[in-house]
Structure 1
Amino acid sequence: MIRPVRPEDVPALRRMMAGSNGYADGPPRDMIVRYATDWTPQGETFVLEDEAGLAGFYELIGWGERDRELDLFFTADDRQGQGVGRALFDHMAGEARAVGAQAVLICSNPGAADFYRRMGASDAGVKPPSDTITWERPKLVLTL
């Protein structure tokens, strides 16, 4: 079941982020651990929960007047390849459409970019490093 995040979900989602195998050792690992430690839901945040517990989540934030940016997207490491990511992505696209968005911006972890392409997102350049994220990230757009 995909549902809105609840306050009691936050500790498990922080652990999911901090332990994600999508972030290599060194600066990427350090960054995600720091970010996860203080993270609280800020946007339209949904979790996929099933009989085994929380399997993944995403967070959409505003991008422009109506469009959305996929700020966070995580699937539990032990649930990857089981359709969790696809279910969350389809739900995310539906939520964005429901608020009138025509596009979703995705600044991706480099290792996840192919997943977003398979889901229909198109390449739209590269997001340069910043003070917080010190590596280039693929920028993609999902047209709704």
Structure 2
Amino acid sequence: MAGSISFRPARSGETAALTELCIRSKAHWGYDERFMESSREALTVKPARVESGDVIVAEFQGQPAGVAAIAPDGDGFEIDLFFVDPAAMGRGVGRRLFEAVIALAKRRGIGALTILSDPNAVSFYEKMGARPIGRAPSDAIPGRTLPLLEVDIASTNASIRS
């Protein structure tokens, strides 16, 4: 991607645009309309999440190119959102966004993050240093299970930029 990618906290007025980015990203994998409609709630970026300060936007040429978030999950934390706009895929945005998530987790004192991954994204997360730890129920589709991964913040392969 020619030009620089910058990162910033999500803003309250852009939740609809970030939700649409998440939907475009998920749809990129060829899911049908029914699946996408069932997934809409899980893909929605809610204002309360943005206000937490744990939602990061990757920006390229003044436009959101990716969005990610961390959130509490039981006794630990998870990567709750991680989506790259299809137009930005394959250009380093995902890697840089992952590094920004790891840096945020480090600043928050978080030791590990779990990732409930789309099957199409597992290889990306593994390249970033996550390891498979099992399967877990989908938060969008009843009866569907998804790969569950974990990334140890201290030993991640990602070169961290603050």
Specify the TM-score bucket, using the shorter chain as the normaliser.
0.7 to 0.9
2:39 is equivalent to residue 32 of structure 1 = yes
Q: Hey, what's the Cα distance between the residues in 2 that align with 1:14 and 1:129? A: 18
Q: Which amino acid aligns with 2:149?
A: L
Per the TM alignment, residue 127 of structure 1 is displaced from its structure 2 partner at its CA by 0.5
2:64 — aligned with what? 54
What is the number of equivalent residue pairs in this alignment?
Answer: 141
In structure 2, relative to structure 1, the CA distance for the partners of 1:6 and 1:141 (3 Å cut) is: same
- Residue matched to 1:121: 130
SS at match of 2:58: strand
Q: TM-score, normalised on structure 1?
A: 0.87
Identify the residue that residue 133 of structure 1 maps to in structure 2. Answer: 141
RMSD (Å), alpha carbons: 1.9
Q: Percent identity?
A: 30
Question: Residues 22 and 71 (structure 1 numbering): CA distance in 2 closer, same or farther, change over 3 Å?
Answer: farther
> Which residue in 2 is equivalent to 1:108?
117
Q: Please tell me whether residue 3 in structure 1 is matched to residue 13 in structure 2.
A: no
* Maintained 8 Å contact 1:23/1:32: no
**Structure 1 unaligned spans of 5+:** none
Provide the rounded CA distance (Å) in 2 between the counterparts of 1:105 and 1:23.
25
